[in-house]
């Protein structure tokens, strides 16, 4: 293995990688990998994980809603009572009657 790759491993305390018994082809592949890695960037990334991160709190984005608040209640979607259907047997129900029922429910909401 070239001295350049060995010196990089020593600089970043990774010499233990050299302890493996590799074939010539495997050593060449390992050397290419070592030379292609930005060890300085890896070191910086690792060091950044040790730093305490400060997260800014933005309390102005959070709105606390009291469920007893009349204004909040007014903003809720109004639920209309579903009209009682006389015939509950869907197989014998007239399709037109069902569509009329659904239309009437939506007409009430549009008003």
Helical pair 3-11 and 24-36, crossing angle rounded to 10 deg: 60
Mean pLDDT of 28-35: 94
Mean pLDDT of 7-23: 91
Task: Give the pLDDT band (50/70/90) at residue 61.
Answer: low
Please report which residue ranges of the chain form alpha helices under DSSP H.
3-11, 24-36, 39-49, 70-75, 95-110
Residue 56: is its pLDDT beyond 60? yes
Q: What integer best gives the mean pLDDT of the chain?
A: 76
């Amino acid at each position: 293995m070239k001295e350049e790759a060995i010196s990089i491993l020593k600089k970043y305390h990774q010499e233990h990688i050299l302890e493996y018994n590799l074939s010539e082809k495997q050593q060449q592949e390992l050397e290419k990998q070592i030379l292609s890695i930005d060890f300085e960037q890896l070191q910086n990334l690792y060091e950044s994980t040790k730093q305490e991160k400060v997260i800014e709190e933005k309390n102005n984005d959070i709105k606390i809603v009291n469920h007893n608040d009349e204004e909040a209640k007014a903003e809720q979607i109004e639920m209309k009572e579903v009209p009682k259907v006389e015939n509950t047997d869907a197989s014998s129900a007239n399709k037109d009657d069902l569509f009329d029922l659904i239309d009437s429910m939506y007409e009430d909401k549009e008003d």
